[in-house]
Amino acid sequence: MKLELVLIPSASHGHLPPFVELSKLLVDGHDDLSITVIVIPPRQELRTPSLSSYISSLSTMPRDRIRFIFLSDADRLNSPNTEPDFRSYSERYKPAVKATVAKLNDPARPDLSKLVGFVVDMFCTQMIDVANEFNVPSYLFYPSSAAFLGLQVHMQYLCDVEKYDVGELRDSDAELEVPFLTRSLPAKCVPSVMLNKEWLSVVLSHARRFQETKGVLIDTFAELEPQAVKFISGGDSSLPEVYAVGPVGLGSVDDNQTDEVLRWLHDQPYRSVVFLCFGSMGGFSEEQAKEISIALERSDYRFIWCLRRAAPTGPPREFANLEEVLPEGFLDRTAEIGKVISWAPQRAVLASPAVGGFVSHCGWNSILESVWFGVPVATWPLYAEQQLNAFEMVEEMGLAVEIRNHFQGEYMAAAETNRELITAEEIERRIGCLMKQDSDVRDRVKKMSEKSHVAVMDGGSSHHALVRFIQDVTDNISSESCG
């Protein structure tokens, strides 16, 4: 019998690509399984040229048993000219998703497959209602860390059961005893999304709905986050069955030799280049950019630096004239040893033997890529849950050195508003620690890299979890037949 899973991602850099890679793993894991990915348009503030390009590329991606259906702004409930807030954004696409799935499920279709479930993004839990209308189970895909999932469900318990006032943590020196880490978590490393009343209500509402799903797929592996995976998989977390299936989709790299940066990297010595990249929403002020440039020149390491200007709202922009921003003569003096660019093919750069360290915003995809390719990280979180990711990388895993962490800004704002200026001296010192060739951090990263590769092989922990998930999906048919 042909089986169909519907995947509903959140359209952002951190969420859509892992969903696409998950769909490939699922069809590879079962010959009778097909995937339909329903792509909701990204929110206005997330619409970057690189994200638009990626979404467009899906239309031409070779996709045996994978179908992409792209909704438009016009499919949104109410006026397409009215931008809903984050809370209601996915909600307004429920009628369009329902209509789309109804067409797929039309008994008159000659290619009809048996609908066996929905897999929804952590920000699209409203689509659980649509799955319920089709009388099929829903599953959650969580493309972030087990620790953040642990924090989300732990905060939901504290607020709903213990009636804890999370707002007391803002600007606090307290440390929280949390079940998903082996050590206490400083309040200053709790992501700001948890400390803002409006955002907290969104976090809690999603966490409550996680419990309605039949299972949770998460993009991590048991060996990387043993304590967090143990917590979310246990009865105390209130979650259903958990499948740690990551790292998802890192096996292949498009090593485009026409890319100038990759050609330059090919000629650099082994582990000699420090790579600085801060994600799709990461940008800096002119003052901070100057401090970074001074640090790079003083350190004398080769470098690739993805630099953009922070914007008050929305994605960062390119600096109009780098020569006016960076120290006089910097670009000329470093022309042979460095590249200052606005964008780089991150995975391909990290895969290069020439890269010896990664200064990162600590987005979860970036962390998984650094681990996969065995590149140690210097943590510089900017927004979202990156504070927690950075703390976990440095203190819990020992896979990174810290440049900065303690701050509390807006959840999805990478602007430099009220952000502490990190001096060139501090940056230079931490880059030196990062690039040290015989460090304990580098040794631990190498060992964890090997574990990440084993995890996704036949018999590995993540491969075993994926097989269990696919078996659960196919068992839905057996259960229905018995009923």
Least confident of 219-233, 305-319, 328-342: 305-319
Window from 53-57, 59-63, 126-130, 395-399 with minimum mean pLDDT: 59-63
415 pLDDT band, cuts 50/70/90, is very low
Q: Which amino acid is at 453?
A: H
Local confidence band at 478 (pLDDT 50, 70, 90 cut-offs): low
Please list, in sequence order, all residues whose beta carbon lies within 8 angstroms of the beta carbon of residue 72, skipping any fewer than 6 positions away: 41, 80
Of 219, 252, 232, the C-alpha closest to 365 is 219
The stretch 239-257 carries a mean pLDDT of 85
Do 138 and 132 touch, CB atoms closer than 8 A?
yes
pLDDT tens digits for range 118-164: 999 999 999 999 999 999 999 999 999 999 999 999 999 999 999 99
Reduced to 3 states (helix: H, G, I; strand: E, B; else coil), residue 10 is: coil
The vertex-436 CA angle with 434 and 437, nearest 5°, equals 125
The pLDDT confidence band at residue 414, using thresholds 50, 70 and 90, is: very low
473: how many CB neighbours lie within 10 A of its CB?
A: 23
Q: Tell how far CA 231 is from the center of its chain.
A: 20
Within 222-350, strands assigned E span: 241-244, 273-277, 302-306, 338-341
Q: Is 51 a residue whose pLDDT tops 60?
A: yes
For residue 215, CA distances in Å to 38, 92, 136, 143, 154 come to 20, 25, 13, 14, 18
Cα–Cα distance list, 57 to 20, 27, 48, 51, 372 (Å): 12, 20, 14, 10, 24
By percentage, how much of the chain surpasses pLDDT 70?
Answer: 93
pLDDT band (50, 70, 90) for residue 211: very high
Q: Say whether pLDDT at 421 is over 60.
A: yes
Extract the tokens encoding 130: 């649509």
- Mean pLDDT for 106-124 is 90
pLDDT of residue 407: 54
Question: Taking the CA of residue 307 as centre, how many other CA atoms within 13 Å lie in the half-sphere pointing to its CB?
Answer: 24
Q: What is the mean pLDDT of residues 235-255?
A: 87
Choice among 373-382, 402-411, 422-431 with the minimum mean pLDDT? 402-411
- Residue bearing tokens 């905060």: 155
pLDDT(385) > 60: yes
- In this prediction, residue 351 carries a pLDDT of 96
Question: Is 70 exceeded by the pLDDT of residue 409?
Answer: no
Q: For residue 390, what pLDDT is reported? A: 96
pLDDT at 98: 97
Directed axis angle between helix 286-299 and helix 424-435, to 10°?
A: 50
Locate 338 and state its tokens.
């460095």
3-state secondary structure of 7: strand
Strand partners, 66: 35
Phi then psi for residue 456, to 5 deg, are: -95, -5
Relative to beta strand 138-142, strand 400-402 is unpaired
Which domains are assigned to the chain? Answer: 3-251+456-482 (3.40.50.2000), 260-437 (3.40.50.2000)
How far is residue 385's CA from residue 370's CA, in Å, rounded to a whole number? 17
In contact, 29 and 474? CB cutoff 8 Å? no
Residue-wise pLDDT tens digits, 218-228: 999 999 999 99
Q: What is the pLDDT of the chain when averaged over all its residues?
A: 91
pLDDT at 408 over 60: no
434 half-sphere exposure, CB direction, 13 A CA radius: 35
Say what angle helices 197-210 and 146-160 make with each other, to 10 degrees: 100
Q: Is the pLDDT of residue 100 over 90?
A: yes
Residue 412 has pLDDT above 70, yes or no: no
Mean pLDDT across the stretch 339-360? 96
Would you call 300 helix, strand, or coil by DSSP? coil
Q: Which two tokens stand for residue 328?
A: 């006089």
**pLDDT recorded at residue 107:** 83
In this prediction, residues 378-385 reach a mean pLDDT of: 92
Which amino acid appears at position 472 of this protein? D
Q: Which has more confidence, 144 or 311?
A: 144
When pLDDT is averaged across residues 86-102 and rounded to a whole number, the result is 91
Please say if the pLDDT value at position 483 is more than 70. Answer: no
User: What's the predicted TM-score (pTM) here?
Assistant: 0.94
Averaged over 6-12, what is the pLDDT? 95
Handedness of CA 368, 370, 376, 378 (dihedral sign): negative
Q: Which of 164-168, 184-188, 257-261, 370-374 has the lowest mean pLDDT?
A: 257-261
| Percent of the chain's residues with pLDDT above 90 | 74
